[in-house]
């Protein structure tokens, strides 16, 4: 017997419709199988789609996240975008979201009844140095990285590659087939920085996303990376510009608290705006 499932389309890490990173949110996904969720995510074709379910633990909701090709344990813009969609009718300022990487709290700021900003406390990442990054750098068309190339894992995995200027970041023309082979299921976050201002582009060919407009799960590790290597202070907020090259400009804010050898807290924030609503019959 078929059933109708409603969804919302929200642009995340922006307050301007038709910019930022697109997200589909199925607001009541009870009854859908994992295979059906994957098929719906492929049908929408966004970098991620979320499915809201009843909580199993101490969260307010449970969420599953799918790219067009696979499920993720955690991702940034899906968590923030889902919080904007769900917290509005619930009149909540704190929404605890159960993910496969643990409970992610999102604190929401309002102007009247409208949510205008949200900050999520992300899972603390682990980090490993990439001992031989040559294959990855060659796929990007990059000679070298001024900071160590490292792999961060906060549910999804992210390879962080520093470049010398924002112009170098803009000029990137990676070989996506070679990059997919070099990165596997990890995203590749290429960035430059000047103080707290960061220019980033993130490629995710192994996740079926190509270039991503705004990558919240990579923003937290980026703040950790810069603090670990002495480029910013621990606790200093960075502002990340991403997505311009694909016509989806986005802004993300990220902070890493801790000290050398110990990360205590990672927070990523931004805005979001609902742009459409619809339904599928499954």
Give the C-alpha separation, 158 to 229, whole Å: 17
Q: Does residue 267 contact residue 220 with C-beta atoms inside 8 Å?
A: yes
Backbone angles phi, psi at 184, to 5 degrees: 65, -130
Q: Does residue 191 contact residue 199 with C-beta atoms inside 8 Å?
A: yes
For the packed helices 216-228 and 76-90, what is the interaxial angle rounded to 10 degrees?
120
Give the C-alpha separation, 170 to 209, whole Å: 18
Residues in contact with 7: Cβ distance below 8 Å, sequence separation at least 6, in sequence order: 24, 25, 26, 27, 44, 49, 277, 278, 279, 280
* Active-site annotation holds for 48: yes
Q: Does residue 254 contact residue 225 with C-beta atoms inside 8 Å?
A: no
Q: What tokens does 64 get?
A: 């599953």
Secondary structure, 3-state, 228-279: HCCCCCCCCCEEEEECHHHCCCEEEEEEEEEECCEEEEEEEEECEEEEEEEE
Indicate which residue of 30, 35, 48, 267 is catalytic: 48
Backbone angles phi, psi at 119, to 5 degrees: -130, 125
Q: Quick one: which of 203, 194, 121 has its CA closest to 161?
A: 203
Give catalytic residues, as residue numbers: 48
């Amino acid at each position: 017997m078929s059933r109708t499932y409603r969804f919302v389309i929200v642009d995340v890490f922006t307050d301007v419709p038709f910019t930022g990173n697109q997200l589909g949110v199925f607001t009541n996904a009870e009854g859908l199988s994992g295979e059906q969720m994957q098929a719906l995510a492929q049908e929408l074709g966004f970098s991620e789609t979320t499915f809201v379910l009843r909580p199993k633990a101490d969260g307010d909701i449970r969420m599953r996240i799918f790219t067009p090709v696979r499920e993720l344990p955690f991702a940034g813009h899906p968590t923030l975008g889902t919080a904007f969609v769900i917290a509005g009718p619930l009149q909540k300022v704190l929404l605890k979201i159960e993910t496969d990487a643990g409970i992610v709290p999102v604190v929401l700021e309002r102007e009247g009844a409208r949510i205008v900003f949200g900050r999520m406390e992300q899972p603390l990442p682990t980090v490993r140095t990439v001992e031989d990054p040559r294959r990855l750098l060659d796929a990007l068309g990059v000679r070298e990285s001024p900071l160590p190339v490292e792999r961060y894992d906060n549910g999804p995995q992210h390879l962080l590659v520093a470049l010398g200027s924002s112009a170098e970041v803009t000029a990137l023309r990676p070989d996506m087939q070679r990059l997919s082979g070099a990165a596997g299921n990890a995203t590749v976050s290429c960035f430059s920085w000047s103080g707290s201002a960061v220019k980033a582009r993130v490629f995710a060919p192994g996740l079926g996303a190509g270039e991503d407009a705004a990558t919240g799960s990579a923003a937290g590790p980026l703040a950790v990376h810069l603090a670990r290597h002495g480029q910013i202070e621990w606790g200093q907020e960075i502002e990340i510009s991403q997505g311009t090259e694909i016509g989806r400009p986005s802004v993300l804010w990220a902070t890493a608290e801790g000290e050398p050898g110990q990360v205590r807290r990672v927070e990523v924030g931004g805005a979001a705006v609902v742009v459409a609503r619809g339904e599928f019959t499954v």
